[in-house]
Structure 1
């Protein structure tokens, strides 16, 4: 137990926090009915969690070095559990969104410390095994979320998708305190709170602009103001990072082609693989009449394929070029999304299966390889920063993907629904938010089916193009660096062993 205790503790937390990115997907129609939530509310229930993870991961990693990694991991898990309880007890969309954000704060504290805890606990072959298991868990968690969410929502209630986190959190904290050794605190280091705040404002304002643009218009003053805030915040982040003694992100790393393209791949990965799933789930339940469990099972091919490939990939792809693994995986994700963009008014869930399998294979390839490629693309002293950055870009990609694809979805629906533009615009938002039953009295069911299928096709098409472009970029620009001559240097045990790439 003591040998593999740190791995169990880290994997429990990782599985739980990544599961919560997608476990809400099949519960969205039930949430909308119970809390009287709009499409915008549902988007924020998903996005605020991913945004909190993205905005705080880098800052949480620095805070872990100062306060102790085990301490921050346990505290983050406790906060995650309390926020999960509050999510399950929510009585309004605003309360649920706020508590989902608090969940993300706890999740960021957990996620920021996972790789460093494993790197410090294991060496040699054991480290390779630990990283392989962690990669398989990471790859499968987000994909299996809809399945578990469907089981809990139908068997109990949507609130149990949050309550289930309580016993898992308690087990993770107990094992952490029993088996994980505390890291040495870096008392001379300061956390870059200014950079953390600037990046959080940038990510939040950009996502807000995309979500609101679908309602108020891309050329409206409110959309323009949100975009302006995002631009100013990004500029402030750049200025702060250049002047900070201990920056969250060394901007010089972005001049390294391999590091930059890995970040692009991470951003595109979560967007292309998972960004359309919330709307797919709403289609399955409100248009096809499937139960939450059946809707979760309908996307099971993605979960199964990703888990099998991720679990087997550590052995079968050991020593393979990250360029081929990540680039090829992104191309498969793109191809899988394009294969799902073929729905019509008469389609059922089987029209998604082949595309989900392709995407799942890609997820299983990319997810375990991304972290290693990020760590390997920078000097050893920047390994912790690179690990935090790749996870940050992944979560930011998911948040932006949900927002952008929602805009594409409703825009395509609006064009397929009858009547003047204003009523069609309203109807599209009601339909996308799970309100098909409210529209059936005045719009033929076949028209609703066709409109939703058209919207999903548009979103999947953009997701497919994104995956293909990102995959081609990785294949073109991610290159191994020539081996450097050995030089005497202190060994940092917390850094995973990875092949060096430029």
Structure 2
């Protein structure tokens, strides 16, 4: 079983960095009480991590191609562990937010090297199994985060959300030193500092704009200023990459419609599958009165389904046409979200979410492992960090875009329903409902008006949640069709013969040859 130690090493890091995206959500009320900060200020405990992770993935991945994937992964683990310690010891919100931002840097170093490390450790059917297990861990992590966070927060303290990372990081570093190897030695090339600066700035400005839009609305001038800055920086990035000898990102890849489809999958996968979870949690906790642990447990069907499909079918999926597998997975994600929208209604309770979540999990289990494998087939092995960074950047941006867009959908639909029921200040009330403030609204209302307001808030939250999942489901279905078209074999044919993962690109037609510097 020694041959699976590299897989265990990579999965430990992946599990830690992905659960830390969502594990803090359920602990925010305790953080407010202990650190004496406002809930909106501590929202940056979540956002600082997401911002640094999304902005740095591509740059860190490119640097890893130069200094070595194993070395970068170990550095990421060490930085993640140290910053987790500072998070757990934080005396105030400022220290906690800063430590979370640094934690995101460590997470980016790990996430950007996972595919390259798996590719260098396994070949053939073993590679299919490795990607399947990694996909199972990756798909289940986001849903496990709130459950583990609820257990630690309610059972011990919110600080153990971060302290628990320390022993796991030590074990993972020990495994790195004994089980991982870099088959591709460090390259003696210049770091593309211009590309790193412009892309990191563009991704950071875009992510921050989406975070701010979700909090302050799209009418905020700062949001549009950040979007404009992101566009300018992105144009600068393209100009830099077109001229530099050792580019951060090989623009030739964008001329291949199949690699564009891979990036589109990463972007829309997290939008359709995970972004709406934020608003189902709001409905469960602020309207139905469930605790954080109970709300987190509703994600178990998604986690179990994703894990079972990825781990159980990884080797089989590895030998199938990737365009068909990815398209089917996205379709299941879309249909699962639409099933949630159909089953959630005025008198619905938490069980209404479970069938749709299970179908979403099936789709996630199909897409995630093969997405990583096929993305690596477009680049030479020594540029694996670049490919992984690009795909995982798309995943993180898709989640941020999904949170912002679906937040506006939720608030707009809630506003319409509240206005139809003649609730005073319907726009402000809808914004409060979207932020999980239904119970505070009821507590501040006059006792005589409370029953009518309670009914209106229930109706608004359910209707808004339905519309949120309708949009998420539509995105999943449209993504399925778009990916099927973009990844179709040249000539419209497509043989049915299975192909190994290292030949995925060849299986769906000849690829544009990327520059190998």
State the TM-score, normalizing by the size of structure 2: 0.87
Q: How has the CA–CA distance of structure 1 residues 498 and 89 changed in structure 2, closer, same or farther, with 3 Å as cutoff?
A: farther
2:515 aligned partner: none
What runs of 5+ residues in structure 1 fail to find an aligned partner?
483-494
Task: State yes or no: 1:75 paired with 2:75.
Answer: yes
Q: For 2:157, what is the secondary structure of its paired residue?
A: coil
What is the CA deviation profile of residues 314-363 of structure 1, one whole-angstrom value per residue up to 9, with x for unaligned ones? Answer: 13434211111111111111111122224344221112111101111100
What is the CA deviation profile of residues 437-484 of structure 1, one whole-angstrom value per residue up to 9, with x for unaligned ones? Answer: 3211315222222222222223222211111111111111213469xx
Once the two structures are TM-superposed, the CA of residue 422 in structure 1 deviates from its matched residue by 9.2
Contact 2:116 2:388 in 1 (8 A): no
2:143 aligned partner: 143
2:481 aligned partner: 472
CA distance in 2 between partners of 1:21 and 1:146 (Å): 10
Query: Matches of residues 391-430 of structure 1 in structure 2 within 5 Å?
Result: 391-417=392-418, 423-430=425-432
1:485 aligned partner: none
Query: Matches of residues 90-489 of structure 1 in structure 2 within 5 Å?
Result: 90-182=90-182, 185-214=185-214, 216-342=216-342, 343-378=344-379, 383-417=384-418, 423-441=425-443, 442=445, 444-480=453-489
CA distance in 2 between partners of 1:216 and 1:11 (Å): 37
Once the two structures are TM-superposed, the CA of residue 389 in structure 1 deviates from its matched residue by 1.5
Contact 1:32 1:434 in 2 (8 A): no
Deviates more, 1:88-97 or 1:11-20: 88-97
CA distance in 1 between partners of 2:318 and 2:184 (Å): 32
Contact 1:266 1:394 in 2 (8 A): yes
Q: For 1:319, what is the secondary structure of its paired residue?
A: coil
CA distance in 1 between partners of 2:426 and 2:287 (Å): 18
Contact 1:275 1:405 in 2 (8 A): yes
What runs of 5+ residues in structure 2 fail to find an aligned partner?
492-499, 510-517
Contact 2:126 2:315 in 1 (8 A): no
Deviates more, 1:377-386 or 1:409-418: 377-386
CA distance in 2 between partners of 1:381 and 1:178 (Å): 22
Contact 1:416 1:454 in 2 (8 A): yes
Once the two structures are TM-superposed, the CA of residue 370 in structure 1 deviates from its matched residue by 0.6
Q: How has the CA–CA distance of structure 1 residues 421 and 233 changed in structure 2, closer, same or farther, with 3 Å as cutoff?
A: farther
Once the two structures are TM-superposed, the CA of residue 428 in structure 1 deviates from its matched residue by 3.3
CA distance in 2 between partners of 1:408 and 1:42 (Å): 24
CA distance in 2 between partners of 1:95 and 1:346 (Å): 43
Once the two structures are TM-superposed, the CA of residue 187 in structure 1 deviates from its matched residue by 4.4
State the TM-score, normalizing by the size of structure 1: 0.89
Q: For 2:107, what is the secondary structure of its paired residue?
A: helix
1:60 aligned partner: 60
CA distance in 2 between partners of 1:396 and 1:37 (Å): 28
Contact 2:113 2:385 in 1 (8 A): no
Once the two structures are TM-superposed, the CA of residue 395 in structure 1 deviates from its matched residue by 1.4
Q: How has the CA–CA distance of structure 1 residues 289 and 332 changed in structure 2, closer, same or farther, with 3 Å as cutoff?
A: same
Deviates more, 1:424-433 or 1:111-120: 424-433
What is the CA deviation profile of residues 229-277 of structure 1, one whole-angstrom value per residue up to 9, with x for unaligned ones? Answer: 1111111111111122221211121111111011111100011111111
CA distance in 1 between partners of 2:279 and 2:157 (Å): 20
What is the CA deviation profile of residues 389-418 of structure 1, one whole-angstrom value per residue up to 9, with x for unaligned ones? Answer: 111211111122122222222233333346
CA distance in 2 between partners of 1:463 and 1:32 (Å): 31
Q: For 2:242, what is the secondary structure of its paired residue?
A: helix
CA distance in 1 between partners of 2:457 and 2:124 (Å): 57
Once the two structures are TM-superposed, the CA of residue 432 in structure 1 deviates from its matched residue by 3.1
Q: For 1:119, what is the secondary structure of its paired residue?
A: helix
